Amino acid sequence: MKYLEGPEGKEAMKFINKAALLALKSTCQRDRCGSVIIKNGKVLGKGFNSPPANLETQRRCLKKHELEPGFKTDKTCCIHAEIRAIMDALRKKSKEIVGSRLYFIRLDSNGNKSPAGKPYCTYCSKMSLDAGIKEFVLLHDKGVCVYNTKEYNDLSFQFKPE
């Protein structure tokens, strides 16, 4: 991983801001997240988290504790913004996704960009790696951080909640 500075950091913040605008469209009642996939300055895919197919009948945002103990799931109510962005890119620009960069942001309850913690979502990291996305970008307290997607996947599998 490395922190982006100067013109590269400024450009990365431009894409983090695009992802934040997408996060404002989220209908999840727990978290509002957004993602964009970029290659050569062009948006290939975009996504925000919401219930599957945006169907209210599929909403489980506030039901995570109602699942039976041992139920095998990520316990996330919605389709992740990253997965939506990947599916969008694969539908529209499948030949261009290899070597791209995925930008992710989460908003706080006031709609402000919220720094990310350590990589932890193995669903998103595996799917990004399998789709051929080269890099995964998060906003941290120290600035914009870019991870090689293989490294991001490895770190996601090493994550332990504190």
Q: Look at the alpha carbons of 25, 153, 132, 117 in this order and tell me if their dihedral is positive or negative.
A: positive
**pLDDT tens, residue by residue, 64-110:** 555 566 555 555 678 899 999 999 999 999 999 999 999 999 999 99
What pTM was computed for the model? 0.90
Between strands 135-140 and 101-107, the pairing is parallel
Tokens read off for 121: 């979502």
For residues 107 and 113, the answer to whether their CB atoms sit within 8 Å is yes
9-26 core/surface letters (b: 16 or more CB in 10 A; e: else): eeebbebbebbbebbeeb
**pLDDT tens, residue by residue, 112-154:** 999 999 998 899 999 999 999 999 999 999 999 999 999 999 9
- In order of their start, the domains of the chain are 2-158 (3.40.140.10)
Going by C-alpha positions, the residue among 56, 35, 55 that lies closest to residue 45 is 35
Tokens read off for 147: 């991870």
